[in-house]
Amino acid sequence: MTRARYRPESGAVLDVTRITRERWRAAARCYPALGADPGPRAVAARRRLWYLTRRALSSARHGPRWEGDVPPNTPALYATAHIGDIRVSRHILRQRGIRVAQVIGPNNLEREPAEAEDRRFDTFYPIDFPHVFPSSNPRRLIRALSQGSLVVAIDLPAGRSISVPFLGGRLTLDPKPLRLATIARVPIRALFLTAPAERLTLTVGPELDPADEESTIARIGELIGRVAAASPYDFDAFTHRWRF
C-alpha cells in the first residue's frame, strides 16, 4: 500500500506561512536546499511545530530534546535566527527558571495576543524579569544583561553584515548584538528551537567570546547551517521575503 502524498488545501500555504506558494518557489531559487516547491512542506512543518510547542508548554513531560548543554541561570546573550520558534524558545528557558527576555524590533511592538499568552505563562512559571525588551534602547538592554539574559535574532542586519552558508545559499548576519554582550561582559550562545525528524529540539551552542566578532559569527553561522539542514522547512521565509 503506497502512502498518499501530502496535498494542502487551497490557500493553506499563504494562510499558514504568510507568503504564497510562488514566493516559496522564489525562496528556493535563493536557497536551493529547500527544493523546487517548498511551500506545501513548509505548511506541514509549521503545523507540526505548533503542535509540538503547545504540547511542550502544557506539560514538562513533553519538553524538547536538548542539543548542547542546559545553560546556567547566569546572564548571557542568546543569538538566534528566524528558523523555528524564537518566542517558545524563550518560554522553555523560563520554564527552567532562567531569567531571559526576547529583544524585539519595531515591527513586533504591537503584540497584544503575545502579551496575553505571556501573562498566562507567568501564572505557571512566574519570574521577576520582563518577557521582552525593545531593540531601540541599547542602554536598557545592557542594564538587562546585568540581571538576566536576552534572546536576539541576528539575521536581519541593518548596515554591516557577515555572510554565512545557509540552505545552499547565503544568509547575512548582524554582528552588532555582539557588542552589547561585550559591553555587558557576558558570553554569547546560539539558540534555536526546531523540530528535526518531528522531534522538538532546543539547540544551545557553547559559550563564545563576543569580542571576537568574525570567529564568533562564523561559529554561530555554522550552527545555523546545521540546524537549517536538519529542519529546512522550519525556516521563516516570511521574515526574509524581501530577499527574493
Asked if pLDDT for residue 231 goes beyond 70, the answer is yes
> For all residues of the chain together, what is the average pLDDT?
92
Give 3's pLDDT tier (boundaries 50, 70, 90): very low
Residues written for the chain? 244
pLDDT at site 111: 66
Whether the CB-CB separation of 124 and 91 falls below 8 Å is answered with: no
Q: What are the domain boundaries of the chain?
A: 63-235
At 80-105, the pLDDT tens digits run 999 999 999 999 999 999 999 999 98
At 101-145, the pLDDT tens digits run 999 987 665 567 888 889 999 999 999 999 999 999 999 999 999
pLDDT at site 5: 47
* Of the candidates 239, 243, 244, the residue with the CA atom closest to the CA atom of residue 85: 239
Enter the C-alpha cell of residue 90: 524563550
Asked if pLDDT for residue 220 goes beyond 90, the answer is yes
Measured CA to CA, the distance from residue 121 to residue 100 in angstroms comes to 14
* Of the candidates 240, 195, 239, 222, the residue with the CA atom closest to the CA atom of residue 84: 195
SS3 per residue for the chain? CCCCCCCCCCCHHHHHHCCCHHHHHHHHHHCHHHCCCCHHHHHHHHHHHHHHHHHHHHCHHHCCEEECCCCCCCCCEEEECCECCHHHHHHHHHHCCCCEEEEECHHHCCCHHHHHHHHHHHHHCCCCCCCEEECCCHHHHHHHCCCCEEEEECCCCCCCCEEEEECCEEEEECCHHHHHHHHHCCCEEEEEEECHHHCCEEEECCCECCCCHHHHHHHHHHHHHHHHHHCHHHECCCCCHHHC
pLDDT at site 61: 83
Own/partner pairs for 155-158, CB < 8 Å, 24+ apart? 155/81, 155/82, 155/224, 155/239, 155/240, 156/82, 156/105, 156/239
* Of the candidates 31, 25, 135, the residue with the CA atom closest to the CA atom of residue 77: 135
